[in-house]
A and B are shown apart, each in its own frame.
Chain A
Amino acid sequence: MKKRYYFLATFILILFVTIFFLNRKSIINVSKATTEIIIDARLLTENFITDEKKANNHYKNKVIEIKGTIKAINFKNNKHTILLYGSSDENHTIICDMNINLKNNQNQVLVDNEVIVKGICKGFLNDVIVLNYILINKKTNE
């Protein structure tokens, strides 16, 4: 009888510990994740416009580094967001939402800065959507 109780108690303990650690499993840490694709902002956008299905297979849910020029910066929905120039007609951009855990000097980017951002590509609506981005490099245009 005692053995049964010990077994049951151990099983419940293991179950709770497992659930606890599963729930604590963090979202992909972009700064530590390996970059899977490096690409220019215009090429990324054009690829989605040309063949969205093929581009989704290639880029969706991947950690990508994008080189581009900042078209706009805003703080909509309480999030720091930058829009990179995308298509040549400027109707389509890359919308990058910043990683919420970021504390450093990300706010120092300006419109028309050339930047390299790293984030997770979610797909395409009118614009390419990238979440949890971090700034890799910034170059001011002189």
Chain B
Amino acid sequence: MNKIIFVIFFGILMSSFSVKPDKIIERQGLVTFFSYTTAENIEAKNSQVLSIVDFSTNEIAISMLMNAFEFKKSLMYQHFNESYIESDLYPKATFEGKIIDFDKSFKGTQTKVVKGILTIRNITKAIEIKTTITNNNDTYILTGDFDITIKDFEIKIPPIVAPNIAEIISTKFRFEYQPYEK
């Protein structure tokens, strides 16, 4: 009887050490977008993207400051913020969605679809993103890419520079999460 009690007690004790966090957070996520045209290739990176994943619901939220995208040319930075995105009026882009059929206990790499709403310039669009999720000793890394059509978010490009900006922008992301302790 004593042995049984001991085993049960030991089991409870060990399980308390292996509790996974309910939420994980990334404060320095990387989002990169590329515009490819015959006239000019443009790349911009944002290295301070915030993302939180809630394991209890498999929900994911992403938020980024548009004025934190960095360009090689400062003139492009100005055009992007002042004319295309109007970041003074619309400072953030967000994504709220869900990772479909996500198994957080799976070790290694799995590919899942993330469905949700992308909001840029206060304009929302439902999107689905194929995402690679790697669980390496309970450190989760999410990577993926998707396209953004600038017309969908009413981004107006002046005709004089239209040949320099692609109509479809390629976007990549990488988030490496830590436990979110509040």
Contact = CB atoms under 8 A, between A and B. Distances in A.
A-side binding surface: helix, strand, loop or mixed?
Answer: mixed
Interface stretch (A18-26, A37-45, A133-141): A18-26
A122 B65 contact: yes
A97 B48 contact: yes
Contacts of A76: 28, 30, 47, 176
Interface string A65-88: 000000000101101010100000
A131 B28 contact: no
Nearest to B25: A126
Contact of B47 (A60, A79, A83, A93): A79
A11 to B, nearest CB: 16
B85 to A, nearest CB: 13
Contacts of A83: 27
B96 interface: no
The interface size bin for chain A is: 20 to 34
Contacts of B56: none
A1 interface: no
Given A125-B65, A129-B68, A77 B47 contact: yes
With a 10 A CB-CB cut-off, give which of A60, A76, A79 has the most chain B CB atoms: A76
B67 to A, nearest CB: 5
A115 B28 CA distance: 21
Contacts of A123: 65, 67-68, 91-92
A130 to B, nearest CB: 9
Interface string B45-72: 1011010000000000001110110100
Contacts of A56: 91
Interface in B143-182: 176, 182
Given A91-B182, A95-B27, A125-B50, A131 B74 contact: no
Given A61-B67, A122-B65, A129 B48 contact: yes
Contacts of A122: 48, 65, 67-68
Given A60-B91, A95-B27, A131-B48, 14 more contacts: A23-B73, A25-B74, A26-B74, A76-B28, A77-B45, A77-B47, A91-B182, A95-B28, A97-B47, A97-B48, A123-B65, A123-B91, A125-B27, A126-B50
23 contacts: A22-B75, A23-B73, A23-B75, A25-B74, A60-B67, A61-B67, A76-B28, A81-B28, A81-B47, A95-B48, A122-B65, A122-B67, A122-B68, A123-B67, A123-B68, A125-B50, A125-B64, A126-B25, A126-B27, A127-B27, A129-B65, A131-B48, A131-B68
Interface of A: 22-23, 25-27, 56, 60-61, 74, 76-77, 79, 81, 83, 91, 93, 95, 97, 122-123, 125-127, 129, 131
